[in-house]
Structure 1
Amino acid sequence: MLNEVIAILPEHLHCIWRLPEEDDDYPLRWRLIKSHFSRSIEKDERISDSRLRKKELGLWQRRY
């Protein structure tokens, strides 16, 4: 059975998923999805000094 579907578009994303019965850590799941995706793209974007200090990529908003 498919547990998640993700469509990443230039300005936003759509995601349908089902957390395991014993797992209700929604923020952790989002962080893992965003981290996995971010590591799979080229590293040539321009990143602000503020984001560099916080070790953030410019791809995502600071909140989920």
Structure 2
Amino acid sequence: MSYDNEFNNLLKHLSDFSIDSDQWEVLKPLSEASHDSVNILDQILTIETVSAAVFSMVRD
């Protein structure tokens, strides 16, 4: 079945991206720092979106 083949190909591609524990030691602080930045950006964008929606409703 073609779906099985697609799944196997996906697993093969994902395994190409696997990292070992030594690499994770280096990447973990970067991952955590970027996670915090992404959360802050998400909060800012959410506030901006809500503000734009409120102002749009007030103008109409």
- TM-score by length of structure 2 reads 0.30
RCO comparison, higher one (Cα < 8 Å, 6+): 1
Higher-Rg structure is 2
